[in-house]
Amino acid sequence: MKKVLIVTGGSRGIGHQTSILAAKAGWDVCINYNNNKMRAEQTAEAVRKIGKSAIIQKGDICNESDVINLFQKCESDLGMISGVVNSAGIVEPYCRVDEIKHDEIQRLININITAMMLVARESVKHMSKKHGGGGGSIVFISSAASRIGAPNFCVPYAASKGAVDSFMWGMAQEVAGEGLRVNAVSPGVIDTEIQPEGRVANVGPNLPMGRVGQPEEVAQSIIWLLSDEASYVTGTNIDVTGGR
């Protein structure tokens, strides 16, 4: 059976590695990006070299019409959608709570919470057997920050990922009888460009494993949750934190 996957934020970091590992696992991939078309094309080309189909679709997932178009384009070009990885997100602002600016809060909420819910809604509309879909798997990218709070660094980000955790759990219960599995992966400190300068080098030696994680290590867990090997797994949040 053909497997078609949407990866939001699929042109960089964890999304990029997820797209590549998904192709190796037999998925055709629709790579969503917002600004960097060149990076998205590079990810798509890597997928094609593996022998799977790939398309890129520009879209700001905070924009409802862009999210709708993303799903419609994927389905029309690649076929029935059976997997979605919601990896787009931001961490900023890096600051104490008493330094938060209103516009920074709004941007964080729009990208990490509102957009996440819009993608989830369209996932159900296109994949749920209730709506004529074939079922499938949805994976949210949360964060260990939702558990530890990230004090003196990014408490608002931690709170936004707490919302992801809560939404994932409720959604998993809601659609479990419709052929949809809904899970999350919570990375710890991962060596991607989303990290502030110097953080990887400073934090790594102090972690239980003595190093930060790599994006492909997170992607491996995502691919497992997408796979039939996780056929009885829903409402689960996997920590990929190196013991943190």
Domain residue ranges of the chain, discontinuous segments joined by +:
3-240
Range 73-97 average pLDDT:
95
Q: Which of 134, 41, 152 is nearest to 94 (CA)?
A: 152
Does the pLDDT at position 103 exceed 90? yes
Distance separating alpha carbons of residues 236 and 176, to the nearest angstrom: 12
| pLDDT at residue 85, as a whole number | 98
Inform me whether the pLDDT recorded for 202 exceeds 90. no
Residues 145 and 158: their CA atoms lie apart, in Å, by 5
Catalytic residue among 33, 94, 157, 232: 157
Asked if the model's pLDDT at residue 192 lies above 90, the reply is no
CATH class of 3-240: alpha beta
Q: What angle do CA 174, 76, 126 make, to 5 degrees?
A: 5
Q: Reply yes or no on whether 157 is catalytic.
A: yes
Q: Supply the pLDDT for residue 193.
A: 78
pLDDT tens readout for residues 156-165 = 999 999 999 9
pTM to 2 decimal places: 0.95
pLDDT of residue 66 exceeding 90, the answer is yes
Across the range 54-69, mean pLDDT stands at 97
pLDDT of residue 191: 86
- Residue 35 one-letter amino acid: N
Under 8 Å between Cβ of 84 and 6? yes
Instruction: Give 155's pLDDT tier (boundaries 50, 70, 90).
Output: very high
